Chain A
Amino acid sequence: MTAMLEVARLEQRFQLSKGLLDRISFKGGIPRLRDTTVHAVNGVSFSIAPGEVLALVGESGCGKSTVAKTIARIYEPTGGRIRIDGEDVSTYGPRKMLPVRAKMQMIFQDPFASLNPRQKVRDIVAEPLLQQLGSGRRAEVSERTAALLARVGLNPEQAGRYPHQFSGGQRQRIGIARALSVNPGLIIADEPVSALDVSIQAQILNLMLDLRDEFGLAYLFISHDLSVVHHIADRIGVMYLGFMVEAAPRDRLFAQPRHPYTRALLSAAPTIEPHRRTTEIELTGEVPSALSLPSGCCFRTRCPFAWDRCAAERPALRDLGGGQSVACHLIDEPERDRL
């Protein structure tokens, strides 16, 4: 079976400023050019099968949203391959992307900013479909729009209203209806519930899982919230500073996390049952700048186990069996795994 999405060695770099004067600095009277490349994504690979939910987790600046936006081809990748339903779209321009967008749609974090305030809800939901079908089939489109609104739990009679007349949760439903309109196989959801209150968040997560079962959707689900990810994902990839440091099926990742960063994330996540917490790695310090990556392992500056090998050699992502892979030298020297 072809993977719905296959990403190989994806790389995304951004140039902060191209001006010579911005980059020049003097050290002991000698002019130097500062490197202003942001290494947002550094060789990330994964695939998602039809109907599967893969979640990418990590903290701000780990590159998870950049991965999502590069796959949606909002950015052009600076390296690596993106295959959607078997088709390599890494170098496609906007025109060639249009038919691909019928297979892949996106849901955004901010339900206020992601809907055009001047468009009626029916036009928002119909827009991707009209792009695909051409404007000659308006009757068919309007029927489908009403059905979609009903499916995501909105009253189709409110299709003539504007986004500001809806609450945050309802707006997120509109965004979901818009994504579903072209019948995609893959939905990229970038923090779709993080702007919502917890009771509304549960409604949207339930809706997304129902739609997955009903339409066989695959999701690439970007989130910083481990409890949300545990609820929705089949597999989870943990990112740090643009690298995938660990990937595993959901239950395995939560039961036996191997990478020190994954373990620290799980320890740090607040829970309503703090007395049941098991692992305890407390991180100090902060994420280094993506402008100058540390040598060797990206996590070594905050890792409580780091030794000289971690600075000398970048650990590769290695398969541990059972669908789990991890990029950490501790795998070779488990006796160092002691605090």
Chain B
Amino acid sequence: MTAPLLSVRGLRTWFHTFAGIVKAVNGVSFDLMPGEVMGLVGESGGGKSVVGFSILGLIDPPGKIEQGEIVFDGRDLAQLPEDALRRIRGREIGMVFQDPMTSLNPVQTIGRQMDEVLRLHTTLDARARRARCVEMLESVGISQAAERLGAYPHQFSGGMRQRVVIAIAMLARPRLIIADEPTTALDVTIQSQILRLMRRQIAEEGASMILVTHDLAVVAEMVDKITVLYCGKVVEAGPVREVIDTPAHPYTRGLIDSIPNPAHRLPRLNQIPGTVPDVRNLPAGCNFRDRCPRAQALCAEVEPPLIPKRGGQQAACHFPVAIGEPA
């Protein structure tokens, strides 16, 4: 059996604010195999972006990785010093962020921003770097690539800028891409173009990807497996079709049921009642119990561990939803 490319174990990333400790990520574990695409999903405050930032070593004070291992290709990223991390970011792990307006430098041409990645992370000479930049821009669907290298970010539309960001992320042929809401700021027809592009690029390079998103539909189109976060903890994980078709955790079930489905319209959507609890002041037991239709006395006392269910699925619930059972 091949070893995982990335193995996150018991990750805790906390933010020490004046109002208290925000346990944004509070014991998250998962494995990512080479070539695998994983969706990290959940609503605002679930901790999904902080997991991505923790892997990249981009947690700044008052945030801190308190505990846990982030083993990437045999090295624990949580223990590496900043200069070692800098050599990994961009070369071995590429990043795509949500906002294509702010993730590019507005006062440098895109050619210069692309060249910088190759200058820092490869031994290519100037001519080879330029050739690689042109090749990469063309492969993300930007025509007249050689001329476009001299253009500034504001000369591109949002969708085109996100293509440039993806090109930069893929330039040094990283083995892992972390994409944080890469299409959330884009229109739906542009979104589908970008998603198709990312899927193709990942497959061609044989890279792995973690797709951080709130949008289950995007996840369903893109990933091999899903990890669902709620209040900084994994509540459910498993292969994408199994999790979406037969969710075991009531939160996952609630999320899926609250998406309007044109294939079978209901007079009322099945809403999850209430709101996410204050992460500075989480209840004892299960974090979801106040919003859960299945909660019983046990849920207030004992926090449910993540345990294997059927077919590679895992769920952290004392009273999981059985297949075919109404919520």
Question: Contact check: which of B192, B221, B258 meets A199 at CB < 8 Å?
Answer: B258
User: Would you give the 0/1 interface string for B176-189, flagging 1 where the beta carbon is closer than 8 Å to chain A?
Assistant: 00000000000111
Q: Are A201 and B258 in contact (CB under 8 A)?
A: yes
User: Would you give the 0/1 interface string for B147-166, flagging 1 where the beta carbon is closer than 8 Å to chain A?
Assistant: 00000000001011000000
Q: Are B272 and A199 in contact (CB under 8 A)?
A: yes
Residues of chain B within 8 A of A199, CB atoms compared: 43, 254-255, 258, 271-272
**Complex alpha-carbon distance, A200 and B217, angstroms:** 17
Given known contacts A59-B187, A227-B262, A286-B157, is B256 in contact with A272 (CB within 8 Å)?
Answer: yes
Shortest C-beta distance, B141 to chain A (Å), equals 8
In the complex, chain A residues 204-252 whose Cβ is within 8 Å of any chain B Cβ: 205-206, 209, 224, 226-228, 230-231
Given known contacts A228-B260, A254-B262, A272-B259, is B220 in contact with A60 (CB within 8 Å)?
Answer: no
Residues of chain A within 8 A of B267, CB atoms compared: 209
Given known contacts A272-B244, A272-B261, A274-B221, is B256 in contact with A265 (CB within 8 Å)?
Answer: no
Determine if A165 is an interface residue (Cβ-Cβ < 8 Å). Answer: no
Given known contacts A198-B216, A198-B259, A226-B262, is B272 in contact with A270 (CB within 8 Å)?
Answer: no
Determine if A203 is an interface residue (Cβ-Cβ < 8 Å). Answer: yes
In this complex, the member of B43, B192, B269 whose beta carbon has the largest number of chain A beta carbons within 10 angstroms is B269
Determine if B144 is an interface residue (Cβ-Cβ < 8 Å). Answer: no
User: Would you give the 0/1 interface string for A285-306, flagging 1 where the beta carbon is closer than 8 Å to chain B?
Assistant: 0110000000000000000000
Determine if B145 is an interface residue (Cβ-Cβ < 8 Å). Answer: no
Q: Which residue of B lies closest to A251 (CB)?
A: B265
Residues of chain B within 8 A of A286, CB atoms compared: 157, 159-160, 190
Question: Contact check: which of B189, B193, B268 meets A265 at CB < 8 Å?
Answer: B189
Residues of chain B within 8 A of A272, CB atoms compared: 216-217, 220, 244, 256, 259, 261
Q: Are B263 and A273 in contact (CB under 8 A)?
A: yes
Question: Contact check: which of A59, A206, A270, A274 meets B215 at CB < 8 Å?
Answer: A270
Q: Are A209 and B221 in contact (CB under 8 A)?
A: no
Q: Are B188 and A224 in contact (CB under 8 A)?
A: yes
Shortest C-beta distance, B245 to chain A (Å), equals 9
**Complex alpha-carbon distance, A224 and B189, angstroms:** 11
Q: Which residue of B lies closest to A275 (CB)?
A: B241
Q: Are B189 and A264 in contact (CB under 8 A)?
A: yes
User: Would you give the 0/1 interface string for A315-333, flagging 1 where the beta carbon is closer than 8 Å to chain B?
Assistant: 0000000000000000000
**Complex alpha-carbon distance, A170 and B115, angstroms:** 47
Residues of chain A within 8 A of B218, CB atoms compared: 270
In the complex, chain A residues 138-176 whose Cβ is within 8 Å of any chain B Cβ: 167, 169-170
**Complex alpha-carbon distance, A202 and B258, angstroms:** 5
Determine if A16 is an interface residue (Cβ-Cβ < 8 Å). Answer: no
**Complex alpha-carbon distance, A264 and B196, angstroms:** 15
Residues of chain B within 8 A of A25, CB atoms compared: none
**Complex alpha-carbon distance, A205 and B267, angstroms:** 11
**Complex alpha-carbon distance, A200 and B269, angstroms:** 11
Binds B, one of A73-81, A106-114, A129-137, A276-284: A276-284
Determine if A98 is an interface residue (Cβ-Cβ < 8 Å). Answer: no
**Complex alpha-carbon distance, A318 and B46, angstroms:** 48
Residues of chain A within 8 A of B2, CB atoms compared: none
Determine if A268 is an interface residue (Cβ-Cβ < 8 Å). Answer: yes
**Complex alpha-carbon distance, A169 and B267, angstroms:** 21
Shortest C-beta distance, A330 to chain B (Å), equals 19
Question: Contact check: which of B191, B215, B269, B271 meets A268 at CB < 8 Å?
Answer: B191
User: Would you give the 0/1 interface string for B246-282, flagging 1 where the beta carbon is closer than 8 Å to chain A?
Assistant: 0000000011111111110101111111010000000
Shortest C-beta distance, B289 to chain A (Å), equals 15
Residues of chain A within 8 A of B196, CB atoms compared: 282
Q: Are B44 and A271 in contact (CB under 8 A)?
A: no
**Complex alpha-carbon distance, A41 and B53, angstroms:** 42
Determine if B321 is an interface residue (Cβ-Cβ < 8 Å). Answer: no
Residues of chain B within 8 A of A205, CB atoms compared: 260, 269
Question: Contact check: which of B187, B195, B214, B273 meets A270 at CB < 8 Å?
Answer: B195
Shortest C-beta distance, B260 to chain A (Å), equals 4
Residues of chain A within 8 A of B258, CB atoms compared: 198-199, 201-202
Determine if A8 is an interface residue (Cβ-Cβ < 8 Å). Answer: no
Shortest C-beta distance, A92 to chain B (Å), equals 34
Shortest C-beta distance, B231 to chain A (Å), equals 13
Shortest C-beta distance, A299 to chain B (Å), equals 11
Question: Contact check: which of B44, B159, B262, B270 meets A202 at CB < 8 Å?
Answer: B270
Given known contacts A169-B275, A200-B275, A272-B261, is B220 in contact with A283 (CB within 8 Å)?
Answer: no
Q: Are A273 and B157 in contact (CB under 8 A)?
A: no
Shortest C-beta distance, B216 to chain A (Å), equals 5
- What are 8 A-B contacts with C-beta separation under 8 Å? A198-B214, A205-B269, A206-B271, A270-B191, A272-B220, A272-B256, A272-B259, A282-B192
Given A230-B262, A270-B218; 14 other pairs, CB 8 A cutoff: A59-B189, A202-B257, A202-B260, A226-B188, A227-B262, A264-B189, A268-B191, A268-B192, A270-B195, A271-B261, A272-B256, A272-B261, A286-B190, A287-B187
